[in-house]
Structure 1
């Protein structure tokens, strides 16, 4: 009979070790109650690197650092090194990661729908096959915001402004081709405007979108709620709506206000394509353990993220669908770099 722990650890355990490991699993079905000392097979080692293919301060950066904190606080690893490589929706970081860390058993990379969209826009979707996805971690919705004194009062007012003169409504968001860009194109199309005239200004992070709005460089901004939250709560920005089906964060959905535009974002963790299966499985198990701990759950709450755990074949199927969707939307919405 094949030892199931060999699949995770890459080596056999003694009977005593096996009994200890099994007892720890039975003590908590979620793995959240067990300590790292009672789950030695899950430990990733002394140090790992988390590559964040974005500038500091944005959603991927927050996700990567929250994951690192969860891994260290749960005892899965002693130390985490963070490496930010921003630019072009994560595609620069992806290229660097595959070149430098494709065979590194101690490295992880954060990614998500923004990267899938950027690759589709640049007709380079196959590049995602150069890494392997371990787990989808979170999902969240987009907020459409304007400066507090903007004449655009609600989603229908925005649709009217886009329909009458789309070129005069500059929209700020994340990287070109990403989920913010796709959502801007969707709003333009639903407004019955010529999507080719969409004026989209891409920024490396949500903080930059906020500043562009406050400095009146753009008329409309799209980003995650956690990145807009402080400016919204201080009254510097005003939310027009959220991209969910129903009211969220105390913000009415775009759909409920007459503009049927629903879209969600998601973030995942990847590793090198050339890692042995046993190490990839061990990484996934350690990440699952860490995301059942209090520090990760606190990160979900404080950043208004939804837990969205998915692994294995279902994750691969999901990525194929998302890639096809991004390719189709880039074509239909006539998105441009």
Structure 2
């Protein structure tokens, strides 16, 4: 791909990955919240949701919140959950495609982490083996350090990265995922050499927190919901957020002179061999679930932004997302 194409696609993705401006987001959220909270048509007695991550992380929280909302609107009598963690969701993706590729009653959680892991690892089973149903949420990334760290601000972090990046191990989600990519973005923004990055991948947010508290990593990257308890307890200190402006009471890196803006997203998929008619039924049920009070409450508690996208727009978004993830893996010299 030519450099001009790479830059154009990367710029386009940056605009798509950054959630709506506050006024537009407020309008979109209000419009969706105002939708009728009627019962959905039942799509199955029992639905299964495969979560390609360990319990406790963002995908797990999202999948279980979606399942609760699907049950609440009457789309299913019960929902079962199956956690299959490892390698940025690619292990769960492969097992889902093999076991549930034609199962019309089993959904798969996924998102930008999986896209990045596919770009980095180039697994035999990739995003082409599943069908996207809907993008559900967007989430900013928080950079946190242990409370006793000498790093107090985003500028301190950038200076430490520039001085000796290899001496500053970064903990985050699976290799190639959004946390890994953002670590490289921060390194470049700090004018450090990304190839010196020491990245320690974990299968869940709680494991990232544990690595920071044990001193195995100097900096952690994750969503706010996964750091919130440790931040509130004073065990960790947030030094920056990946938004364009301050969020969660945390200063944006951009406002601290570090041009590193990025947003994570999470969504839901179905099997490649599920029929178009059944896919439409599942999509309608998921959309109805996102109007339910329980889902709206989860968004509020977790500080996630509603980021609904489906159909052709979602397919085009995923294609661009994967292309840009591959470019970022190359430019940032990320290693599996």
Does the TM-score normalized on the shorter chain lie above 0.5? yes
What is residue 183 of structure 1 aligned with on the other side?
A: 182
What is residue 23 of structure 1 aligned with on the other side?
A: none
Following TM superposition, by how much is the alpha carbon of 1:163 offset from its aligned partner in structure 2, in angstroms?
A: 1.1
Over residues 41-91 of structure 1, what are the superposed CA-to-partner deviations in whole Å (9 max), with x where a residue is unaligned? x32120111000000000000000000000001111101010000000000
Equivalents in 2 of 1:280, 1:30: separation in Å? 25
What is residue 236 of structure 2 aligned with on the other side?
A: 237
Q: Scaled by the length of structure 1, what TM-score is found?
A: 0.88
What is residue 281 of structure 1 aligned with on the other side?
A: 280
Equivalent position SS for 2:261? coil
Over residues 122-179 of structure 1, what are the superposed CA-to-partner deviations in whole Å (9 max), with x where a residue is unaligned? 1249710100000000011000000111011211111111111111000000000000
Equivalents in 2 of 1:232, 1:196: separation in Å? 30
User: Match for 2:39 among 16, 30, 35?
Assistant: 35
Larger Rg: 1
Equivalents in 1 of 2:269, 2:306: separation in Å? 17
What is residue 99 of structure 2 aligned with on the other side?
A: 100
1:320 aligns with 2:319: yes
Equivalents in 2 of 1:211, 1:324: separation in Å? 33
Equivalents in 2 of 1:33, 1:291: separation in Å? 10
Equivalent position SS for 2:96? helix
Number of aligned pairs? 305
What is residue 15 of structure 1 aligned with on the other side?
A: none
Equivalent position SS for 2:212? helix
Q: Which runs of 4+ in 1 moved over 6 A?
A: none
Task: Give yes or no for contact 1:30–1:289 (8 Å, CA) kept in 2.
Answer: no
Equivalents in 2 of 1:283, 1:158: separation in Å? 44
Counterparts of 1:1-337 in structure 2, within 5 Å, are 32-36=36-40, 42-124=41-123, 127-337=126-336
Equivalents in 2 of 1:123, 1:334: separation in Å? 15
Q: Scaled by the length of structure 2, what TM-score is found?
A: 0.89
Task: Give yes or no for contact 1:146–1:213 (8 Å, CA) kept in 2.
Answer: yes
Q: Which runs of 5+ in 1 are unaligned?
A: 1-27, 37-41
What is residue 9 of structure 1 aligned with on the other side?
A: none
Task: Give yes or no for contact 2:38–2:73 (8 Å, CA) kept in 1.
Answer: no
Equivalents in 2 of 1:130, 1:285: separation in Å? 22
